[in-house]
Amino acid sequence: MELAPKLLDMVWAILIFGAVIAVILGLASFYENRGGRRVGWWFIGPALALLAVGLVYPALKTVWNSFRDAGGGKFVGIDNYTQIFTNSDELVVLRNTVLWTLVTPFVATAIGMIYAILVDRAKGEAVAKALIFLPMAISLVGASIIWKFMYDYKDPAGGTAKHPTQQIGFLNQVLVWLHLDPVNFLLNSPQNTFWLIVVMIWIQAGFAMTILSASIKAIPADIVEAARLDGVGAFQMFRFVTFPSIRPAVVVVLTTIAIACLKVFDIVRTMTGGNFDTNVIANEFYSQTFSAANQGLGAALAVVLFVLVVPIIIYNVRQLRASEAR
């Protein structure tokens, strides 16, 4: 019985969509028959209108709210931004976000690049690439749950000599096998932030490997053969042939992973909830806006996140244009 209303809503949505498209096509055809030249605006206009309503207006509204108090009523100027850059808890959030953005892209890209070079044209290349790419098929929440079990810690003080505490976390069990004390990976700061970063590296290394492997295979064979005939070694081959050839792809991978790290939310929210000094901007924005009901500070955090992402996007676009102009 509950399925019928949903099917009816779907049918109505399809009919409305079809009616809108029919109106646009009819107006465009009518305008073209009357000698109109800019028919394309009939198709671009609705898309621009939707972008204005769904993207531009919310962005401007967020900027406006960032200058208001928690309830969104009183104008407080730059107080929210001052709190972000002076409050000790917010400074930890900024520090962690910077760590994510600086460490993850370079480590994940380096691992992906080394792996792509090592398995290039090797026997079993497809299987080797599939193994490192598999984490990309897992959602960030799923990967976080997996690694939360990997890091799981049981206090050994709760056991006895005859019945020691069993560690269900794989890493801690390995430490026990090595006759070392188990470690609470997710509790101790600031190391716990780096253990969270490992999860993102585990996921993004496969992405980096895939993009860079395709770029390596696109290097002209005659350039590689000429370098080998000149007696170029493996390191010199990478320095003077491979890396210059794949540099645009490296920039794309670095900037893409950096943007993903600036917006990281799922891993932190799932594994620690932002506790134990592991909070980042995206999770703090969520907490302030929806949990603490502080609309002003939440909006200011969203603006700061946007300001941090924009330069990376601009740099990425410029690099792509420069590579296309060569």
Which pLDDT tens digit goes with each residue over 153-192?
A: 888 776 665 666 788 888 988 988 888 888 899 988 889 9
pLDDT for the residue numbered 194: 94
> Is 1.10.3720.10 the CATH classification of the domain at 79-151+186-325?
yes
Contact between 117 and 238 (Cβ < 8 Å): yes
Asked if pLDDT for residue 26 goes beyond 60, the answer is yes
Asked if pLDDT for residue 199 goes beyond 90, the answer is yes
Of 73, 23, 19, residue with least CA distance to 45: 23
Confidence band of 108 (pLDDT split at 50, 70, 90): very high
The CA R_g of the chain, rounded to the nearest whole Å, is 26
Better-scored residue on pLDDT, 95 or 23: 95
Confidence band of 81 (pLDDT split at 50, 70, 90): very high
| Mean pLDDT along residues 289-298 | 89
| H/E element, 196 | helix 191-217
pLDDT for the residue numbered 142: 92
Cα angle, residue 311 at apex, residues 308 and 316 outer, rounded to 5°? 125
Asked if pLDDT for residue 36 goes beyond 80, the answer is no
Peptide bond into 190 cis (omega under 30): yes
Mean pLDDT of the chain: 85
Asked if pLDDT for residue 270 goes beyond 90, the answer is yes
Q: Which long-range contacts (CB under 8 A, 24 or more apart) does 53-56 make?
A: none
| Mean pLDDT along residues 250-257 | 91
**Percent of the chain having pLDDT more than 70?**
91
Better-scored residue on pLDDT, 143 or 120: 143
Tell me the pTM: 0.82
3-state SS assignment for residue 68:
strand
Of 208, 217, 216, 206, residue with least CA distance to 244: 216
How do the residues of the chain divide into helix, strand and coil, expressed in percent and rounded to 5?
75, 0, 25
| H/E element, 70 | none
pLDDT for the residue numbered 92: 93
Contact between 93 and 284 (Cβ < 8 Å): yes
Instruction: Report the range out of 38-42, 92-96, 288-292 with the highest average pLDDT.
Output: 92-96
Confidence band of 37 (pLDDT split at 50, 70, 90): low
Tell me phi and psi for residue 68, to 5 degrees. Answer: -120, 170
If phi > 0 it is left, if psi is from -120 to 50 it is alpha, else beta; for residue 121 that is: left
CA distance 158 to 165: 6
Contact between 138 and 200 (Cβ < 8 Å): no
Dihedral over alpha carbons 296, 299, 300, 301 (to 10 degrees): 120
